[in-house]
């Protein structure tokens, strides 16, 4: 919505149609573009012929009323029937683009491309957008804007081209009336452009109000236990009541603002047409127009007045469509991270951070500054430090979710930027703090670690990851779909599935992001065993909060505000004193708490 209004104002309506068309042609793809072009041409031609067909009513009625011989009237009737029939046939054929399923196929193709694109674009860009937003882009925008494009355009054409051609047709029959009718069109456009920004403003205010109301509602439902415990729910929730009242006020305000351009254009059209009719009566009085022709003019004017006065509604739809197509276009235009040449593959798995500096796109300060570290092959390195110090960013840099602005990260001496993207992923397995389970069977969820693995291999990995006992308890065992019951698995059970995945993948480098952060005691032990199986003889990076879990690490890197504060083994760091020793002492104290007073 917001983007609709931020578009620069267009000079003329025609250019807007061209933009829309270009975007449409681009979205449906090269194979369908020419079909789309023909279809649009057909729709325009049909609307034009329909307009001329309408105009034919004037001579037809005049002939019927003045000429005792039926042949002239019949001739005009024939002309009208032919025009209408051709118009209908053209429209029928043109709409075939929709009805033959060509448009649906085009949307299908576009969505497939969007899906491919999503796999390429830098994850950082992807994580900016929320899933809901992308969903509405891939599902909503594609559907609403492509599937209904022809319908909307057809409406626009009948609202503009048909009246225009009807006026032109009348011009041929009676230039005075035709000219007067044609005068209405230039009167509408500047007015429309003058008022259009108001339409956008109203919409923007409204969409903001809805957004904030929606956030407040969510806060209310999520905070219900607290609010109720405090006796401030329901009618006593003053803030929520205020939000709703404000929303209503803004809705009314926005409605008034938004309705204005529509009212103005409709008034011009209605008044203009009334003037044409009055002029027609005057011509009849002056004896230079037959009353029956005037009657025909009435019929034609009545036909064209409604679409003409409401065309703004349709152009608003066009603008929404344009904005949506633009969003899709900009997503499609997102470039994947560049692949440096020559492509190289590392021969060993020593990881080096060399003077790495990185800041996120919107951040005002560096997240990682001049970071140096070497992780020897098959060593275990722990990253510790307060939350937000940059630990996770370091692992994401290693996974090449984004590139550092300064310095380089190398695996086996090869810069990450020279390693093909899919090869990086084959080198590294990640066990995240939160486990994503797919809406598929347990078997498939584990097998995604290595799709070609045999059942026996999957089961072996699950066994090593301590999964067998709980998988056995699931209602359909290995074939249980996790979409329905994923929520019923405990954190530890989910974690073990993800470890099994990583075991199956058997990558030489393992990244663990707080894998034991939120587990129940029973699970903790099992997850610990699973992790031990996973990290055996690998190069391991672990992010840990609980220091006791990493006392055995070969190297502990203490990170503070994006920089390396201390490094060494547990014992060395304790001896050294400083940040690590303080953290260790604090956690030791916590452990001593014995639950009483």
Partner 1 sequence: MVTDSSTASATQGADPSVKYPDKNTKRRKHPSPWRILKPVQARVRFAMAISASSALFGLAVMVQLMMVVQRLLQDPDVVPWGWFCGAAVCTVAAYAARLGAFNQAHYAAFRLERLLRMGLADRLSKVSLGYVETQGAGALAKVIHDDVKALHVFVADSTPLYARAYVTPLVTLVLLLVLDWRLALVALVVLGIGYGILSRAQSRRRDMVRSYNAAREKVSAAVVEYVQAMPVVRNFDSGKMSFARYQEALDGYLKVMLDWYRAAGFPARFSWLVLSPMPTLTLVLGAGLLLTSMGDLSVSRWLGVLLICTGMAEAMMPMMMLRHMIEKVALSVARIEEVMNAPELAARSGAVESTDPNAPALRFEDVSFSYNNDHDQALRNISFSVAPGSVTALVGPSGAGKTTVARLIPRFWDVTSGKIELGGVDIRNMDADRLMEKVAFVFQESFLFADTIAENIRIGRPEASDEEVIAAARSAQAHGFINELPQGYDTPVGERGVFLSGGQRQRIAIARALLQSRPILVLDEATAFADPENEAELIVALSELMRGRTVIMVAHRLATIRDADQILVFNRGQIAERGKHDDLVGQGGLYARLWRNYEMAQNWSLGSGRRDAQSLTEAE
Rounded Cα distance between 409 and 398, Å, is: 7
**Segment interacting with partner 1, rule: CB under 8 A, options 12-20, 34-42, 175-183, 282-290:** 282-290
Smallest distance, partner 1 to C-beta of residue 26, A: 20
Starting at the earlier edge strand, list the strands of the sheet with 509-513.
Answer: 428-431, 509-513, 539-543, 380-384, 555-560, 563-568
Site string for partner 1, 523-562 (x = CB under 8 A): xxx--x--xxx-xxx--x-x-xxxxxxxxxx---------
Nearer to partner 1 by Cβ, of 7 and 291: the residue is 291
Q: Which of 518, 572, 575, 577 binds partner 1 (CB under 8 A)?
A: 518
Tell me the residue length of the chain: 597
Nearest distance in Å: CB 442, partner 1: 14
CB of 567 to partner 1, least distance (A): 17
Of 31 and 546, which CB lies nearer to partner 1 in the complex structure? 546
Cβ closer to partner 1: 118 or 187?
Answer: 118
Q: 3-class SS at 564?
A: strand
Nearer CB in complex with partner 1: 14/285: 285
- Encoded tokens for 431: 């066990």
Nearer to partner 1, 11 or 362 (CB): 362
d(CA 538, CA 431): 14
Q: Which stretch binds partner 1 (CB under 8 A): 8-16, 237-245, 364-372, 407-415?
A: 237-245
Question: Does 55 engage in binding with partner 1 (CB under 8 A)?
Answer: no
How far is the C-alpha of 564 from the C-alpha of 552, rounded, in Å?
A: 20
Is 232 a residue that touches partner 1 (CB under 8 A)? yes
Containing H/E element for 559?
strand 555-560
For the chain, the 3-state helix, strand and coil shares in percent, each to the nearest 5, are 70, 10, 20
Nearest to 523 by CA among 549, 497, 548: 497
Tokens of 54: 């309408």
Question: Considering the rule CB under 8 A, would residue 448 count as an interface residue with partner 1?
Answer: yes
Residue closer to partner 1 (CB basis): 247 or 350: 247
Alpha helices in 7-69 (DSSP H): 13-28, 30-55, 57-66
* Contact string 396-435 vs partner 1 (x = CB under 8 A): ---x-x--------------------x--x--xxx-xxxx
Rounded CA separation 477/472 (Å): 5
Closer by beta carbon to partner 1, 248 or else 575: 248
**Residue 312 Cβ, how far from partner 1 at the closest point, in Å?**
14
How far is the CA of 423 from the CAs of 174, 347, 427, 506, in angstroms?
76, 12, 6, 14
Among positive and negative, which fits the CA dihedral 380, 386, 390, 395? positive
Give the nearer residue to partner 1 in terms of CB position, either 7 or 105: 105
Reduced to 3 states (helix: H, G, I; strand: E, B; else coil), residue 512 is: strand
Looking at the Cβ atoms of 362 and 387, the one nearer to partner 1 is 387
Site string for partner 1, 60-79 (x = CB under 8 A): xx--xx----x--xx--x--
Q: How many residues bind partner 1 (CB under 8 A)?
A: 168
Stretch that binds partner 1, among 8-16, 34-42, 136-144, 325-333 (CB under 8 A): 136-144
Least separation, in Å, of the C-beta of 457 and partner 1? 15
> Which token pair is 349?
């798995």
Least Å from the CB of residue 67 to partner 1: 10
**How would you classify the pairing of strands 414-415 and 406-411?**
antiparallel
Q: Does 279 bind partner 1 (CB under 8 A)?
A: no
User: At 372, which helix (H) or strand (E)?
Assistant: strand 368-375
Q: Which of 329, 326, 315 is nearest to 6 (CA)?
A: 326
| SS3 (DSSP) at 171 | helix
Cis amide bond preceding 415, omega within 30: no
Host H or E run for residue 510: strand 509-513
At residue 149's C-alpha, the angle toward residues 143 and 155, to 5°, is 140
For residues 369 to 388, the per-residue mask of contacts with partner 1, x marking binding by CB under 8 A and - elsewhere, is: ---------x-x-x---xx-
Among the listed residues 157, 181, 161, the one whose alpha carbon sits nearest the alpha carbon of residue 297: 181
Contact pattern from residue 8 through residue 47 relative to partner 1, giving x for each residue in contact according to CB under 8 A and a dash for the rest: ----------------------------------------
Binding mask 292-331 for partner 1 (x = CB under 8 A): x-xxx-xx--xx----------------------------
Contacts (CB under 8 A) with partner 1, residues 199-218: 210, 213-215, 217-218
Site residues for partner 1, 490-509, by CB under 8 A, read 490, 492, 494, 501, 505
Q: DSSP H helical segments within 230-290, as ranges?
A: 238-285
Stretch touching partner 1 by CB under 8 A, among 32-40, 120-128, 362-370, 555-563: 120-128
Q: Which is nearer to partner 1, 38 or 220 (CB)?
A: 220
CA dist 487 and 485 (Å) reads 5
Least distance to partner 1 from the beta carbon of 484, Å?
A: 10
- Position 572 contacts partner 1 (CB under 8 A): no
Decide whether 252 or 340 has the Cβ nearer to partner 1: 252
CA distances from 484 to 489, 493, 517 (A): 10, 15, 25
Please, which of residues 137-166 interact with partner 1 by CB under 8 A?
A: 138-139, 143
């Amino acid at each position: 919505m917001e983007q609709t209004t931020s578009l620069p104002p267009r000079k003329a309506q025609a250019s807007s149609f061209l933009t829309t068309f270009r975007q449409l042609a681009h979205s449906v793809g090269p194979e369908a573009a020419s079909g789309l072009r023909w279809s649009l041409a057909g729709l325009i031609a049909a609307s034009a012929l329909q307009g001329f067909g309408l105009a034919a009513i004037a001579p037809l009625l005049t002939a019927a009323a003045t000429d005792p011989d039926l042949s002239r009237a019949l001739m005009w009737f024939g002309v009208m029937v032919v025009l209408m029939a051709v118009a209908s046939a053209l429209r029928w054929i043109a709409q075939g683009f929709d009805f033959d399923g060509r448009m649906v196929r085009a949307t299908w193709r576009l969505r497939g491309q969007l899906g491919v694109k999503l796999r390429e674009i830098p994850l950082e860009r992807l994580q900016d957008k929320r899933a809901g937003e992308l969903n509405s882009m891939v599902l909503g925008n594609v559907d609403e804007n492509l599937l209904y494009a022809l319908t909307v355009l057809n409406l626009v054409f009948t609202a503009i081209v048909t009246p225009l051609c009807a006026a032109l047709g009348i011009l041929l029959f009676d230039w005075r009336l035709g000219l007067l009718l044609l005068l209405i069109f230039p009167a509408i456009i500047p007015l429309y452009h003058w008022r259009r920004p108001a339409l956008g403003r109203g919409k923007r205010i409204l969409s903001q109000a809805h957004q904030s109301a929606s956030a407040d509602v969510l806060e209310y439902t999520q905070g219900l236990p607290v609010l109720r415990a405090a006796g401030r729910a329901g009618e006593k929730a003053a803030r929520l009541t205020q939000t709703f009242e404000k929303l209503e006020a803004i809705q009314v305000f926005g409605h008034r603002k938004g309705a204005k351009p529509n009212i103005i254009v409709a008034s011009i059209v209605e008044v203009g047409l009334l003037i044409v009719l009055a002029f027609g009566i005057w011509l009849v009085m002056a004896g230079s127009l037959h009353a029956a022709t005037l009657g025909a003019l009435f019929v034609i004017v009545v036909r064209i007045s409604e679409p003409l006065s409401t065309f703004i509604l349709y152009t608003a739809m066009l603008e929404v469509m344009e904005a949506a197509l633009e969003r899709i276009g900009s997503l499609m235009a997102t470039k994947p991270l560049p692949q440096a040449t020559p492509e190289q593959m590392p021969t060993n798995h020593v990881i080096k951070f060399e003077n790495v500096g990185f800041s996120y796109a919107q951040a005002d300060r560096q997240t990682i500054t001049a970071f140096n570290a070497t992780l020897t092959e098959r060593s275990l390195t722990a990253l510790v430090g307060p939350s937000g110090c940059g630990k996770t960013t370091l692992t994401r840099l290693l996974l090449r979710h984004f590139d550092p602005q300064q310095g380089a990260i190398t695996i086996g001496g090869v810069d990450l930027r020279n390693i093909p993207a899919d090869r990086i992923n084959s080198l590294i397995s990640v066990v995240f703090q939160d486990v994503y389970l797919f809406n598929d069977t347990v078997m498939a969820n584990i097998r995604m670690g290595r799709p070609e693995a045999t059942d026996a291999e999957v089961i072996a990995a699950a066994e090593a990851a301590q999964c067998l006992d709980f998988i056995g308890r699931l209602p359909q065992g290995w074939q249980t779909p996790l979409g329905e019951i994923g929520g019923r698995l405990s954190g530890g059970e989910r974690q073990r599935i993800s470890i099994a995945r990583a075991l199956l993948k058997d990558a030489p480098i393992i990244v663990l992001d707080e894998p034991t952060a939120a587990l129940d005691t029973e699970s903790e032990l099992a997850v610990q065993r699973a992790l031990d199986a996973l990290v055996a003889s690998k190069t391991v990076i672990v992010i840990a909060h609980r220091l006791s879990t990493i006392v055995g690490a070969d190297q502990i890197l203490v990170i503070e505000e994006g920089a390396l504060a201390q490094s060494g083994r547990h014992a060395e760091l304790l001896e050294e004193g400083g940040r690590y020793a303080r953290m260790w002492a604090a956690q030791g104290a916590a452990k001593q708490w014995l639950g009483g007073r």
